[in-house]
Amino acid sequence: MNINADFARRAVVHAATMPWTPSPIAGVDRRMLDRIGDEVARATTIVRYAPGSQFSPHVHGGGEEFLVLEGVFQDEHGDYPVGTYIRNPPHTFHKPGTVQGAVILVKLWQFDPADQTAVYIDTKDILPISPGRNGVRTIPLFENGHEIVRLEIWSPNTSVKVGDHKGLEAFVIEGGFDESDDHFVRHSWLRLPPSEDFAGVAGPAGATVWLKTGHLAATPTAPTV
């Protein structure tokens, strides 16, 4: 299955307008943003867990990264409320689910194979910093030689430019922004190839955006299992 699988081209998904599609697990539905592969895939997905649903125990051979968007996500290691950012390195194991229901943004098989850094961040407990860009505050989430991940909070009507990014993804948590000829709202997603700079303007209510850069310097491929 290939969805937005040409990484040399701009990709846009306004996920809030998409229907939910069922996964192989009852009570777990998906909105697929990009994907290379079948059930084992390099994938970026919004996943909705119904109350009381649970995924089968599994190993993440290529690593798992997720951000909790709604509800409380859970596994045997703990509870993950809204705003929690998690990185489970390659070959880690868990049995995820939820009691009350949850929605997460999840990325699979996108780790550098040498990355064995586990990350747990409750972003609500972090005071955003201002890195010298007017109207932009940042919550750093992760950085290595392969990628930079952060939340950015853009003040209303702020112009935001990101160049030389080696690949960029932006996912709207709250608010919205305009970029090129597209209007991005809550749960809209943008992916840009390394050759295309980002130049956006936050909307009148501002925007909170999950950003990842640097990770598309090499063209992604499907997992080899």
Best CA proximity match to 97, nearest among 123, 71, 124, 121: 71
- What is the chain's mean pLDDT, rounded? 94
- Cα separation, 192 vs 90, in Å, equals 25
Residues present in the chain in total: 225
* Confidence class for position 69, pLDDT limits 50, 70, 90: very high
pLDDT at 225 over 70: no
Amino acid 76: pLDDT:
87
Domains with residue ranges and CATH for the chain? 2-122 (2.60.120.10), 127-213 (2.60.120.10)
Q: What is the pLDDT of residues 17-39, one digit of tens each?
A: 999 999 999 999 999 999 998 87
Q: Which amino acid is at 97?
A: G
Task: Give Cβ neighbours of residue 215 (< 8 Å, ≥ 6 apart).
Answer: 110, 146, 147, 166, 167, 169
- Please calculate the CA angle 76-113-146 and round it to the nearest 5 degrees: 105
178-203 average pLDDT score: 97
Amino acid 113: pLDDT:
86
C-alpha pair distances (Å), 122 with each of 170, 174, 177: 19, 17, 25
Q: What is the pLDDT of residues 138-182, one digit of tens each?
A: 999 999 989 999 999 999 999 999 999 999 999 999 999 999 999
pLDDT at 100 over 90: yes
